[in-house]
Amino acid sequence: MRHAVQIGLMLAALGLGEAAAGAWTREEGTGQVIFSTGRRVAPVGALTGRIADEDSNTTQIFVEYGLFNDLTIGATLFAELSSTDLGEGSASAGLFLRQRLWQGERGVVSVQAGYIHPIEDIFPGEFGRNGSASEQEVEVRALYGHSWWGDWGSAFFSGEAGYDWHGDAEADEIRLDATIGWEPYRCCLALMSGFATVPVGGGGSGDASLTIAPSIAYTIWPDIGRNHKKPQGPVRPATIQIGINYDLLNSDDGLGVQLSLWRRF
């Protein structure tokens, strides 16, 4: 598998505060974990010291594992806590399955289904009881990925389209996500992601969104030493990613900054 495809397995969707993978499935018996932490402030100037109207912090743990070469399972834990509104926040846990339907030399097509459940009630106090609490969510996705490589490095595209069913509190959503990545060197990766949501049906109301999320990632490969021999056993590098995200349709939401650590196992 080319390195661009390997990177495609390790996308972190910085635009939504949620880690995610691309269209590729993991090899059987291998996995990865992504730990992400972020902060969102509004207005944007609050990042430079102005008083923030809204200030929230997010944390997520994302794990996926290859049951078979064409079937990947995964789980997520996500929490968001407001620093300006006491007791406002959300927490959820989710599971998903990604099934590969087709793979060529450079392209792949997959489908994914998942379920997210709110877990605010397991926390003491008023957390999540004053607003922004999560809700049950069922999601289905169709995913496509493509990679390129040459003397200039490697690159990939990963796109997905899906439908998210929410509980009665919010409208359902149609979601379109896309990421392009370019790796000029084995250690360094530049990414540009876009995430669009359109509310439809459901028992509540919601706003359409169009978020852009540029980021960069640096991979720390094991040192091969002076004898230039390859390490024994599987190679499990660690990757650090940092990026920003901004909703073009909802500027009042402010600017988000996020840091992610990827680790294969």
- Enclosing H/E stretch for 262: strand 255-264
What is residue 233's predicted lDDT score, i.e. its pLDDT? 64
Contact 255, 246 (CB under 8 A): yes
- Enclosing H/E stretch for 4: helix 3-8
What is residue 236's predicted lDDT score, i.e. its pLDDT? 77
For residue 150, the one-letter residue type is: G
What is residue 68's predicted lDDT score, i.e. its pLDDT? 96
Contact 126, 153 (CB under 8 A): no
φ, ψ of residue 46 in degrees (nearest 5): -65, -20
**pLDDT tens for the 265 residues of the chain, in order:** 444 444 444 454 444 445 456 889 999 999 999 999 999 888 776 666 667 778 889 999 999 999 999 999 999 999 988 877 766 778 899 999 999 999 998 899 999 999 999 888 787 666 656 655 678 899 999 999 999 989 899 999 999 999 999 876 678 999 999 999 999 988 899 999 999 999 997 555 568 999 999 999 999 887 765 665 666 666 778 899 999 999 999 888 889 999 999 888 8
What is residue 227's predicted lDDT score, i.e. its pLDDT? 60
Residue 142: both structure tokens together: 């169709």
pTM for this prediction: 0.85
Q: Is 87 helix (H, G, I), strand (E, B) or coil?
A: coil
What is residue 5's predicted lDDT score, i.e. its pLDDT? 42
